[in-house]
Amino acid sequence: MDIDKLFKVPKLPGGGSKRRMPDNPTPEMLKKMRMDSSSLPAPTVSASEPSNSASSKRQSRAATVEDVDVDMDSERDLDFAPGGDADYFAEEDEEGRFFGGGLSKDQKEILNIFDKDAEDDVREDLEEMNITLVRRLLLRFERAVNKNQDQRSKYPDDPTKFIESESDLDMSLKALLPLAQAPTIAYPELVKSGAIERLIGLLSHENADIVIDVVEVINELTDEDVGNEGEDDEEEEGNREEALKTLIEGLLANSILELLVDNLKRLDESEESDRQGVFHILGIFENMIGFNADLSIQLISKTTILEWLLTRIQSKKHEENRGYAAEILSILLQNNRENRLALTKLNGVDSLLQVLSQYRRRDPVDPDETEFMENTFDTLCSALAEPEVKKLFLDSEGIDLMVLMLKDKKQSRSRAIKVLDYAMSGPAGTPCCETFVEALGLKSLFSTFMGKASKKNPTQTEDISHTLGIVSSLFTNLASESVARIRLLAKFVENTYEKADKLLEIRDAAHTRLQEVEKEITAEKRDLEGEGEKVDQDTEDLWYLRRLDGGLFTLQTVDYILAWIAMEDDGILAHLRQMLSRKNKSLKDVVKTLQIYRDNVDEDDAALKEGEMTQKEILQHLIDFLDAC
């Protein structure tokens, strides 16, 4: 007999994966435990049992290693059952073996809601959630809210008078969690019955634990996977989405965003329960924005969430909520000019640079902190799409910091290259281009560009892509005959045109990838025409995007740079002709790529200063020059 297995203690809760809190009890667990408990004899207490026996002993100190020699009979009733399970030793079979369920206190309370009240008879299987059960749960919740409010109003200065109603309210809130398993039934009833108003009203409750319960329930109800069990057809998926939409609209109508942000400032993250509450609030924001991306604008315009997030990520100690705050910040700034401009009003660019500066001389200590660093860099890249942010970035010496990161060669180097690509692009990136050359960034940039492929650097392909983008921006934005431009061109002349040769290597690899994509598109086009269908413009646009991802974008950038250096230096021009001819190619192949680039370029002419050429005009001049060669 394996004694260890016989007396195995339930596992203690351990640290979950990133952005996951301990699981709530599932309907299957509740059903199984209810069946198990119904088949076991309930513990009884003799009427003649002395009142100072077990109950008094449970108040004594916990057993320690030194207590081993104490008489075992006198210590038998100490409260040391795993998980605080008072019924642990009562659950025995005929041979005296115990089967402690190991249920936590919260799980037992949830189970009791469905078992103890014979009057309401809430005993239907949770797997078979129906409208009757939903209404009973909501009615129980309503009674608990009203009773607690009544007790608190009558005895505001005597907690002993309303503590029981607070406990009932806590249990009734936890009992709402299974509603997420049947959104199509439960969510319309939540809104229709007024339970949403009562639920959100509790976000202002005096007891922070009640607030945390509410936040957990809302986070569970708004999860994108609510009710998504097994393989469902499209109609059921549509019904779930419609139910979730109804719920979210009901939440928004009751100022859910403002109340949640207010509670972020109220909760004390030094306490574990409050820390989980903050986690769930951030989860609600992610759920709602994931369902409707436009809510990100409303969240920032109507609340102070942006200020809270910027402050939160500046914490010196890294932990889960700090990482989650960086992720939410990155999501909020992805595609919204309004949100990016709001960042500038809070000195957000400087705050982001302060956070990132710590990774100049050290790498993140673990994958979670690495993800935090990447999200912070992504936030900055998103913001740099706006000309106003580029100026603030330059004024805050962001270019200088990124150049230092290039030199120090830590994990942040690859992300710094990406930031520089975003900062130096477009007409508004001209001052950043000039500052980059003045800060001696060319040496470090081309050192990365010429580096050999390494399995230790999984981002090398991305680094080369962003490096090409930086060089392209430099040729576009640096003034002709300026010192900065001459220094840039000199890099392609030195060491017998080795950097031009590197460009040709990248070109060959991109062209090979593009040929594979072209074969696939040609086959698809032939199939469509064989079925008598015409290729519409939308299909052509999709194919063009596939070509860009399949190597055309890289090919266009490389040929753009090759055209510039060929036009500005006769030695490079002769070298390129020689190298292309060895592979049965010529400058005409470069021209073909630039023509496709010109025909599909999309730019904002309004961002140009008077006298500046558009990108399309620049491409046409390069094409004319190469045609004349």
385 and 467 assigned to the same domain: yes
Q: Is residue 407 part of a domain?
A: yes
Q: Is residue 277 part of a domain?
A: no
Phi-psi map region of 444: left, alpha, beta (phi>0 left; psi -120 to 50 alpha):
alpha
Write down the pLDDT at residue 370. Answer: 95
Are 554 and 468 contacting, i.e. CB atoms less than 8 angstroms apart? yes
Cβ-count burial 559-585 (b if 16+ within 10 Å, e if not): bbbbbbbbbbbeebbebbeeebeeeeb
- Output 553-558 pairs: Cβ under 8 A, ≥24 positions apart: 553/465, 554/465, 554/468, 554/506, 554/510, 555/507, 555/510, 555/511, 555/514, 555/593, 556/593, 556/594, 556/596, 556/597, 557/465, 557/468, 557/469, 557/472, 558/468, 558/503, 558/506, 558/507, 558/510
473 and 584 assigned to the same domain: no
Q: Which positions of the chain have pLDDT values less than 70?
A: 1-128, 227-235, 452-459, 603-611
355 and 470 assigned to the same domain: yes
Can you give the three-state secondary structure of 10-77, one letter per residue? CCCCCCCCCCCCCCCCCHHHHHHHHHHHHCCCCCCCCCCCCCCCHHHHCCCCCCCHHHHHCCHHHHCC
Euclidean distance between CA atoms 220 and 416, whole angstroms? 37
Domain boundary among 80, 115, 150: 115
Write down the pLDDT at residue 133. Answer: 93
542 and 407 assigned to the same domain: no
Q: Is residue 293 part of a domain?
A: no
80 and 36 assigned to the same domain: yes
Q: Is residue 138 part of a domain?
A: no
Q: Is residue 228 part of a domain?
A: no
Whether this model's pTM surpasses 0.85: no
For the segment 224-276, what is each residue's pLDDT rounded down to a tens digit? 887 665 445 666 777 888 999 999 999 999 999 999 999 999 999 999 999 99
Q: Is residue 296 part of a domain?
A: no
Domain count, the chain: 3
- In this structure, what token pair is assigned to residue 395? 């004024």
| Closest C-alpha to 357, from 306, 417, 397, 323 | 397
543 and 432 assigned to the same domain: no
Write down the pLDDT at residue 351. Answer: 96
343 and 458 assigned to the same domain: yes
Residue with tokens 């399309």: 616
Write down the pLDDT at residue 460. Answer: 75
Q: Is residue 216 part of a domain?
A: no
458 and 570 assigned to the same domain: no
Q: Is residue 300 part of a domain?
A: no
Strand partners, 119: none
Domain boundary among 115, 138, 159: 115
Domain that holds residue 361: 316-478
320 and 469 assigned to the same domain: yes
Quickly list H helices, 253-319: 256-266, 272-291, 295-302, 305-312
Domain boundary among 115, 147, 167: 115
Rounded-to-5 percentages of helix, strand, coil across the chain? 70, 0, 30
393 and 518 assigned to the same domain: no
Q: Could you give the count of Cα atoms lying within 13 Å of 244 in the half-sphere of its Cβ? A: 25
466 and 605 assigned to the same domain: no
What is the Cα gyration radius of the chain? 33
454 and 580 assigned to the same domain: no
Write down the pLDDT at residue 176. Answer: 94
Q: Is the dihedral of CA 482, 484, 487, 488 positive or negative?
A: negative
Write down the pLDDT at residue 155. Answer: 85
